[in-house]
Structure 1
């Protein structure tokens, strides 16, 4: 596996650049873990009994990006694509090899819009999350998303290693 999908975050920069750099680094790490795999590989569940797969992680993080940046921060009507009342884990359970490429294209578009939406707000700006009363800052949102990606990239490490033995930092 190559690391062409990610760039190390800066070591000296203002807070916004550092936060965006770390978020981009973790997004890139996820894409790195998918590199060189087929649709069939991306949907394989390799850590039984979990229904997690690499493309399931992409779909899950697409929904997380949409929830926090699109719906909570920007107030957009961005309904879930993969989660339904009937299939609350549809992001993991309803994956198909034929859909994997589209899932990746959707992820890229969602991330691009997330970045554009976040750029419109200062780190101190606050928003109210749907169905909650407590305010959240954009700074908190960046930290939460970095944590979310870091946790799921640990899952991606295990899934990829079980698929083909590839490991990496």
Structure 2
């Protein structure tokens, strides 16, 4: 069992919320990037202390969502928006193909620790991209060639996290009753 899934880690994570408080004032970059990091940390907190089996459980009736699936999906979101759409990197998509577009949510036979490592690497790379550019800088959308500003990409990913943090809260509560933050 990894340190992330021990009962002590779970209790410590919820009791000592380590997320940085959101700034009440600041420039656009500070507010938006802090909000995005807060939502990233919220998602990880929702997953803390669960076994791989619990993370992969689809625990809401009539839904195929699991925390493991959301983890894989959010790693793909980070790569798609920051590396591929904005930075124009020629890297493969994560957990997606035209033949199997839902594999991020449906193929949960992979190693959860590796999925967390991939997500952490994608978040770190996204932070590097944001730190090295101005919000007015633009990339080109892979699908249409249209310009897209870094500002728009950050807001898009921020809203994706906000939406999925709500899903994660519901999933987590249905697994073990944990709610919060």
Gaps of 5+ in 1: none
Partner of 1:41: 54
Say what the alpha-carbon RMSD is for the aligned residues. Answer: 1.3
Q: Does the 8 Å CA contact 1:6/1:32 hold for their aligned counterparts?
A: no
Partner SS, residue 139 of structure 2: strand
Partner of 1:113: 125
**Pairwise CA distance, 1:5:** 4.6
Which residue number corresponds to residue 26 of structure 1? 39
Worse overlay, 68-77 or 129-138: 129-138
Given the alignment, which residue of 127, 132, 146 partners 2:144?
Answer: 132
8 Å CA contact 1:63–1:80 kept in 2: the answer is yes
Other-structure match for 1:83? 96
- How many aligned positions are there? 168
1:4 partner SS: coil
Report the Cα offset of residue 49 of structure 1. Answer: 2.2
Preserved CA contact (<8 Å) 2:88 2:140: no
User: CA 1:3–1:111 in structure 2 vs 1: closer, same or farther (change >3 Å)?
Assistant: farther
Aligned equivalent of 2:158, options 110, 125, 146: 146
TM-score (norm 1): 0.94
How many angstroms apart in 1 are the aligned matches of 2:16 and 2:39?
Answer: 12
